[in-house]
């Protein structure tokens, strides 16, 4: 069974049952002890791209936004036990050509890491993908706020939607998290792990 550790802010660590360790937007929190097989970066803001924070295994792969979105094309990648697809991410603070989100398929489950974004045109298409877990930013400063994120959650229709990236400089904000009230809403605190 794969495990997903929420490290806080917009940072995650996934470990597959095959022993592959993937960091997504490394920056915040604890849990950088496992050497990385793969690091995913949604964009180049400093709170998402600390690729040297986790130790690297020999041959560690790094997929950054400019690899995932090249020449206007959103790319897909396969590593043992994982299928990764880049998707749209953008708003007034995040240029469409320099930001991505990721869809990751693991153990037959589909996870959506939105990165830094507000509503995108692609979200209605994501509703057709039967996403199991969606992770949406909610800070309302650099990204969409709670009401807009809730609307996006309704559009996407994931089985579970987790509010993340809640406030600059903070790992987590429980008061904000409790305002995220949509069907399937799930509060995940830093240091907690999901079984996927």
Q: What are the tens digits of pLDDT across the range 160-180? A: 999 999 998 899 999 999 999
Give domain status of residue 196, yes or no. Answer: no
Q: Are 151 and 180 in contact (CB under 8 A)?
A: no
Q: Are 112 and 158 in contact (CB under 8 A)?
A: yes
Q: What is the pTM of this model?
A: 0.98
Q: Which domain holds residue 164?
A: 3-188
pLDDT at 17 over 90: yes
Per-residue confidence (pLDDT) for residue 168, from 0 to 100: 87
Beta carbons within 10 angstroms of residue 183's beta carbon = 11
- Spatial CB neighbours of 35, under 8 Å, sequence gap ≥ 6: 21, 54, 55, 56, 57, 60
115 pLDDT band, cuts 50/70/90, is very high
Q: What is the SS3 assignment for 113-161?
A: ECCCCCCCCCHHHHHHHCCCEEEEECCCCCCCCHHHHHHHHHHHCCCEE
DSSP state letter for 35: P
The position carrying tokens 């470990």 is 15
Give domain status of residue 39, yes or no. Answer: yes
Q: Are 132 and 162 in contact (CB under 8 A)?
A: no
CATH of the domain at 14: 3.60.15.10
Q: What confidence tens digit (pLDDT) does each residue in 53-110 have?
A: 999 999 999 999 999 999 999 999 999 999 999 999 999 999 999 999 999 999 999 9
> Stretch 30-52: mean pLDDT, rounded?
97
- Among candidate residues 124, 115, 76, the one with its CA nearest the CA of residue 95: 115
Give domain status of residue 194, yes or no. Answer: no
pLDDT at 116 over 90: yes
113 pLDDT band, cuts 50/70/90, is very high
Q: Are 21 and 5 in contact (CB under 8 A)?
A: no
Q: Are 186 and 3 in contact (CB under 8 A)?
A: no
Q: How many domains does the chain have?
A: 1
**What is the token pair recorded at 156?**
């996407």
Give domain status of residue 10, yes or no. Answer: yes
Give domain status of residue 75, yes or no. Answer: yes
CA–CA dist 14, 2 (Å, integer): 7
CA–CA dist 135, 165 (Å, integer): 9
Give domain status of residue 13, yes or no. Answer: yes
Give domain status of residue 61, yes or no. Answer: yes
Averaged pLDDT score across all residues of the chain: 97
The position carrying tokens 């469409």 is 96
Give domain status of residue 152, yes or no. Answer: yes
């Amino acid at each position: 069974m794969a495990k997903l550790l929420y490290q806080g802010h917009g940072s995650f660590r996934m470990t597959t049952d095959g022993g592959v360790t993937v960091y997504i937007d490394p920056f915040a929190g604890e849990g950088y002890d496992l050497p990385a097989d793969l690091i995913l970066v949604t964009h180049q803001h400093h709170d998402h791209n600390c690729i040297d924070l986790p130790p690297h295994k020999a041959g560690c792969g790094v997929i950054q936004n400019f690899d995932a979105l090249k020449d206007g094309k959103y790319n897909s990648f396969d590593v043992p036990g994982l299928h990764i697809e880049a998707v749209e991410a953008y708003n007034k603070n995040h240029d469409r050509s320099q930001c991505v989100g990721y869809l990751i398929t693991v153990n037959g489950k589909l996870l959506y890491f939105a990165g830094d974004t507000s509503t995108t045109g692609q979200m209605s298409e994501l509703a057709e993908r039967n996403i199991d877990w969606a992770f949406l930013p909610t800070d309302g400063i650099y990204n969409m706020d709670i009401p807009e994120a809730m609307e996006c959650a309704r559009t996407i229709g994931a089985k579970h939607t987790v509010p993340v990236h809640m406030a600059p400089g903070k790992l987590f904000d429980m008061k904000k998290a409790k305002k995220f009230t949509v069907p399937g809403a799930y509060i995940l605190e830093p240091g907690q792990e999901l079984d996927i």
